[in-house]
Structures are given as structure tokens and as C-alpha cells.
């Protein structure tokens, strides 16, 4: 199973494991999303997901109820890091200029 989210939490791991981290390119993420990922994003991530979609054409659904993630051997999670987007306190979307100045990074954490 490959998950897609914004962070890792210790509670995601089903026990002792070895974690292998690999940087991903945007093309890597596009290919993996096209193959199918389980989104563990929630509705508070909507504007950020829309920013990623606008900038890169990567569309990850936001489930009505995010799954409880329990990473076991051979599972992976793609984590998107975002730097530069302001907190949305008085609106619900980012401007084109804000998205253009944002740094998006992607990494895959593989459980071995």
C-alpha cells in the first residue's frame, strides 16, 4: 500500500521497522499517484492540495474520513513538504503568486 500525506507520526508504524527514505521528483509523484495511492489528507489540507494540483497537475483526493494509517513491511508513504505558503486565516485559497513562490518537496518513506 502507498499512502500520500503531509507528515509522519510514530503512531503510523505497526512495530519495529527499518525506514528507507528517498527523495522523489514531481514526475515520480505523478507516476505513483496515477498508479494509485491512499490519501491520508484531511479537509484542512484542501487549499494546499489545490496548490499542488495547480502547480504540478497532481490531484490527490481528500477522503471524507481519512484512513487510520498503519504502516507495515512493504508499505510506503509519500510525504509532501511545503515551505512558503502563508496560513489561511481569512480566506480559503492561495493566490497564483503565493503558489509560484512556494517550495514543494516530496519524499517516499518505505517500510522494510
Q: Provide, rounded to the nearest whole percent, the portion of the chain with pLDDT above 70.
A: 99
How is domain 2-111 classified at the CATH fold level? Rossmann fold (3.40.50)
Prediction pTM value: 0.88
- In the chain, where the domains are located: 2-111
SS (H, E, C) the chain: CEEEECCCCHHHECCCCCEEEEEECHHHHHHHHHHCCEECCCHHHHHHHHHHHHHHCCCCCCCCCCCCCCECCCCEEEEEEEECCCCCCCCCCCCHHHHHCCEEEEEEEEEC
Give per-residue pLDDT as tens, 35-81.
999 999 988 888 889 989 999 999 999 999 989 999 999 999 999 99
Amino acid at each position: 500500500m502507498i499512502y500520500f500525506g503531509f507528515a509522519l507520526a510514530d503512531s503510523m508504524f505497526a512495530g519495529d521497522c527499518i525506514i528507507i527514505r528517498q527523495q522523489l521528483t514531481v514526475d515520480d509523484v505523478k507516476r505513483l499517484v496515477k498508479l494509485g495511492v491512499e490519501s491520508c489528507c484531511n479537509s484542512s489540507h484542501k487549499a494546499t492540495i489545490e496548490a499542488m494540483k495547480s502547480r504540478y497537475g497532481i490531484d490527490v483526493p481528500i477522503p471524507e474520513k481519512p484512513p487510520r494509517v498503519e504502516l507495515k513491511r512493504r508499505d510506503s508513504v509519500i510525504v509532501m513538504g511545503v515551505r512558503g505558503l502563508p496560513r489561511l486565516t481569512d480566506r480559503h485559497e492561495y493566490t497564483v503568486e503565493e503558489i509560484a513562490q512556494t517550495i514543494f518537496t516530496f519524499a517516499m518513506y518505505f517500510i522494510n
